[in-house]
A and B are shown apart, each in its own frame.
Chain A
Amino acid sequence: MGGLNRRDFLKLLGLGTAGVLGVPVAASAAAGIPPVAFGYHRLVAAKETRSICAYCGCGCGLIVYSKNNLVVSTEGDPDHPINEGALCPKGASMSDINTIVADNYARVPNARRADKVLYRAPGGTEWQVKDWDWALDQIAQRVKDTRDAAFEEKDAKGVTVNRTQAIALLGSASLDTEENYVIHKMLRSLGVINIDHHARL
């Protein structure tokens, strides 16, 4: 790393790092730095949020730029000690999961995202759109019915086991730690013992 990090650079330009309004080109020239316009669009009026890449286990820092509740760009966090601003192709394209580039170069929501609660009935050939209340109630009922029908209070030797073997969960190494923790608690409260996730895949 040189002596000048990104934050210093922005300070030199007379800018803060959040909610930047306009790039004073003259100021950068005065500071002896060539006037630059790159990054202008994502910096202007964009909210900066610090994040960590969603992909491999390196833990690279990201800056997510957003406007109007949509991600407009992501870039490597230059202040992050692991990646020092660099990103691989996956990390560099993380904005695509929220918005993608349309034909007119504008960013529009990624229409492929799952953004509705969907239900497929037995033998059904299509998804049906549902609301959360309906789905949560229906799933809770199935969890209860399945659990209670197969609940084992004691095993063949008479040991108290309080488990169900009729429900399984394949969880995720992409979820946050806190999310995994509460999901684990929920499963054990139900007596679930069929649990696995990406550690084996």
Chain B
Amino acid sequence: MTNHFIDYRNSDVVMMIGSNSAECHPMAMRWIERGRQTRGTKLIVVDPRFTKSAAVADVYAPLRPGTDIAFLLGMMNYAIENSLYQKEYVVSFTNASYLLHPDFSLEDGLFSGFAKSADGKASYTTATWNYQKDGDAIKKDPTLEDPNCVFQFLKRHVARYDASTVSKITGTPESVYRQVCETFCSSGKPDKAGNVLYAMGITQHTYGSQNVRAIAMLQLLLGNIGIAGGGVNAQRGESNVQGSTDMAMLFHLLPGYLGMVDATKHTKFQDYIDKETPKTSYWSNTPKFFVSQLKAWYGAKATKANDYCFNWLPKLDGVDHSHVAIYQDMAAGKIKGMFAWGQNPLVGGPTVDAERKATENLNWLVVVDVFETETAAFWKRPGASPANIKTEVFLLPAGFSYEKEGTVTNSGRWVQYRWKAVDPPGDAKSDLWIADRLFKAVRKKYEAGGKFPDPILNMVWNYDHAGEDEPDIGKVALELNGYTVADGKALSTFGALTDDGKTACGCWIYAGYWAVDPELKVVGCKRRSLVDKSGLGLYPKWSFAWPVNRRIVYNRCAADPAGKPWDASRALHSWDGAKWVSNDVADFNATVSPDKTATGPFIMVPELQGRLFGAAYGIKAGALKEGPVPEHYEPMESPVTNLASKQQTNPMVLRRKGAFDKVAATASPEYPYVLTTYRLIEHYQSGAVTRNSPWLVELMPEVFVEMSQALAAQLNVNTGDTVEVSTARGQVRCKACVTPGISPLVINGREVEIVGMPWHWGYQGLGSGESANVLTVSIGDANTQIPEYKACICNVRKA
């Protein structure tokens, strides 16, 4: 999130798209409601289903799953056509004025540079996805009138998405759509704040990254980023998905969003430095972050002479190693051993029957969890014959959140400390204890020899707590926070990091979270002061927000180029003629006059300005795999042909193999309905924990499929009847829930029925049931490989 939950009360208008906060992030509703009471905040909910959030919305707009890009581009069109965008913000803070390469084009769904090889492999050369240069300088037209400037391109691009076309693609009635546009674009006035909330409904598509970009572009046009009450706010689905992502529990990253070393790009230390360090933006400090991380990991062994042990890191091979790739490699017999550590993929993974089958190929599986999950019990799942499954399985019992101590980072980047209430039951141990003991057990094996033992034998691992069984969380936290090597003292900011081995820091963005607050005498993440001088709910002394305790990022944008807040009642920074007066930690150099920072507020991108066009410019360029701007494509499975172009689906998706690549043909008569999956308030993710809570199982006992009254009548189905839902990947049985909350949508003149299923169930637990993910698609976003859980096509019949 650029902002944080309490800040929702500062919004004039909130648009929730691809998120059902009332069920999935209930406290979001508290702060929207507070805004409504205090400043008349308007709530727009855009969702295929009339959700609990929609029930309290001022405007509810239904849309067909997978059509968010058309919806959002159409809103930009409305803002530009009606001059509702915030022109001064756009000119000063974005790349709207940059001139584009004259050969850049988009024709019939494909951008310039597209090619298809003889074997059908699609690729783009991105030479034209760039700016015109005059020497080192980018050519610009601050009047925004040059036909080659980003703004004029964007104007032409979004003009194809007029309200009538958008309505035909999305199924949103045109009058409702216009109401959404009018209500949300009212936040384009300089003194108004509009806020977009999203979650997996936006990201879990084959163009999920472009969905997010579309939101960011809309917010830039309306001047809604970097201000109180605004923002691009991704609501995170787990208590620590922010923290675990920050720690790079992902193949392609190192902690702190440093790119993972890759043999196809970085054969040597200097390659990494050269190719990962942009000339401009805060990422120009990458060598300080990277060297300090190597120093934290390898300690005294890491020296300048040996490139800080660079070769001790494994290198990627230029290809995908995300969730689906892992299961595909398991099915192919390439992966022999696996840890499912606090995750239950055999309910949560896409095309999950194929994943369950692939798991049988493992030699060994270690599951670390608080209950016996479906993943742990895969060998005795319904239909399996345990005697034929050779996999050895270890189930290691773990402590629950309040049975250990440590921090979790919420969606608003608040790093909050959890104190320990009780010991884990029986032989269960904290995950920290398990990781510590397991690493030591492996190290012991390598003390007797083995392949390339150096990183295992030399990794800094000194978390023992004298006289205690549990490792010392403070020692881990200090390493993560960073310290000066000479004296071991905690750093209070990443500004102190160096690239010469004098500082060590596990994750640069966490620098300061374990530094003692001089006034409160506790480390940053343990603070519990409710001081809020701003009156905006920033609570700067409650926990610690990364980076550097900044509560709203890109906050230079909260004031105009001259330093005057766009809205005095929501001021984050104000130039008084001699100095800045700030409510939040400045995201810019606050020791210089406003003109010096007026054109560089987006400090993490090489342009230093917000990207209305994601050019292939510089290191950490904005260009995505399938283009520099979003363009509407249909989901991999769709009931209709694409109305926006001849290009039916995202041309850059990575196709999978075998069972992981099964998709039905467009408008397949076998699968006439659109299926979307979602979550409920009573359960959490795969239900591994909540389906073992008697209270929650009583509240929400079993899986169901929601359908419209019209579809139910057609199928002769009543609520409570058992139905079979099938897709090209499998079928499940569950009860029908017939509801007025879902209605068929008119897509280009034809009615399309939508059905929805929660995905929390599996064959284990106090409450069990069939898994919706048996039905879902494994093909994912071309950039992130997040699977397209949110849209596929299905059939439903009475069982």
Contact = CB atoms under 8 A, between A and B. Distances in A.
Contact of B244 (A136, A160, A175, A193): A175
A52 B410 CA distance: 10
A85 to B, nearest CB: 11
A124 to B, nearest CB: 7
Given A49-B402, A194-B335, A177 B244 contact: yes
Given A52-B239, A123-B386, A175-B342, A116 B426 contact: yes
Given A112-B371, A136-B441, A172 B342 contact: yes
Contacts of A101: 694
Contacts of B438: 136, 139-140, 186
Contacts of A37: none
A115 B427 contact: yes
A60 to B, nearest CB: 6
A146 B321 contact: no
A60 B412 CA distance: 12
Contact of A142 (B5, B335, B337, B407): B337
A167 B401 contact: no
Most A CB atoms within 10 A — which of B6, B681, B765, B787?
Answer: B681
Given A114-B398, A167-B336, A201-B349, A172 B695 contact: no
Interface in A52-93: 52-62, 64, 66, 69-71, 74, 79, 81-84, 86, 88-90, 93
Interface stretch (B125-133, B451-459, B571-579, B735-743): B451-459
A113 B425 contact: yes
Contacts of B334: 165-166
B25 A180 contact: no
Contact of B370 (A50, A97, A120): A97
B335 A117 contact: no
Interface in A94-137: 94, 96-98, 100-101, 109-110, 112-125, 127, 131-132, 135-137
A171 B341 contact: yes
B326 A188 contact: no
Contacts of A113: 370-371, 397, 425-426, 428, 692
Interface stretch (B306-314, B554-562, B621-629): B306-314
B143 interface: no
Contacts of A53: 239, 401
Contacts, number: 488
B504 to A, nearest CB: 13
Nearest to A160: B311
Nearest to B341: A171
A147 interface: yes
Given A118-B395, A140-B442, A188-B455, A182 B432 contact: yes
Interface stretch (B59-67, B249-257, B275-283, B717-725): B249-257
Contacts of B695: 89, 93, 96
Task: Classify chain A's interface size.
Answer: 35 or more
Contacts of B510: 177
Contact of A117 (B26, B248, B321, B396): B396
Contact of B473 (A89, A138, A178, A184): A178
B696 A90 contact: yes
A200 B451 contact: no
B584 to A, nearest CB: 15
Contacts of A84: 30
A120 to B, nearest CB: 4
Q: Tell me the dominant secondary structure on chain A's binding face.
A: mixed
A123 B237 contact: no
Given A52-B408, A117-B394, A199-B250, A194 B507 contact: no
A56 B379 contact: no
A70 B423 CA distance: 8
A139 B419 contact: no
B339 A173 contact: no
A172 B401 CA distance: 12
Contacts of A157: 263
B249 A171 contact: yes
A10 B212 CA distance: 46
A4 interface: no
Interface in B378-410: 379-380, 386-398, 400-410
A141 B95 CA distance: 55
Nearest to A143: B442
Contacts of B322: 196, 200
Interface stretch (B78-86, B222-230, B595-603, B683-691): B683-691
Given A115-B428, A123-B387, A181 B247 contact: yes
Contacts of B408: 52, 59, 176-177
Given A57-B235, A123-B388, A144 B314 contact: no
Contacts of A138: 394
Given A136-B438, A139-B394, A140-B442, A58 B249 contact: no
A153 interface: yes
A73 B364 CA distance: 38
A154 to B, nearest CB: 9
A173 B477 CA distance: 18
Contacts of A86: 27, 30
A24 to B, nearest CB: 26
Contact of A115 (B421, B425, B694): B425
Given A51-B421, A113-B425, A165-B335, A199 B244 contact: yes
Nearest to B392: A122
Given A166-B336, A181-B255, A196-B322, A88 B313 contact: no
B432 A178 contact: yes
> Which residue of A79, A125, A153, A159 has the most chain B CB atoms within 10 A of its CB atom?
A159
Nearest to A81: B539
B176 interface: no
Interface in B643-699: 681-685, 689-690, 692-696, 699
Contacts of A189: 297, 312, 439, 455-456, 459
Contacts of A168: 326, 329-330, 335, 337-339
A47 B345 CA distance: 36
B399 to A, nearest CB: 10
Given A184-B247, A197-B250, 18 more contacts: A51-B418, A59-B409, A81-B537, A88-B26, A96-B693, A100-B694, A118-B372, A163-B314, A173-B239, A173-B243, A179-B435, A182-B476, A189-B439, A193-B316, A193-B317, A195-B250, A195-B251, A201-B323
11 contacts: A98-B425, A114-B370, A135-B394, A142-B364, A162-B315, A170-B343, A174-B238, A177-B243, A186-B438, A189-B455, A195-B249
Interface of A: 47, 49-62, 64, 66, 69-71, 74, 79, 81-84, 86, 88-90, 93-94, 96-98, 100-101, 109-110, 112-125, 127, 131-132, 135-144, 146-151, 153, 155, 157, 159-186, 188-201
Those 4 A-B pairs whose CB atoms lie nearest each other, nearest first: A172-B342, A59-B410, A115-B426, A176-B406
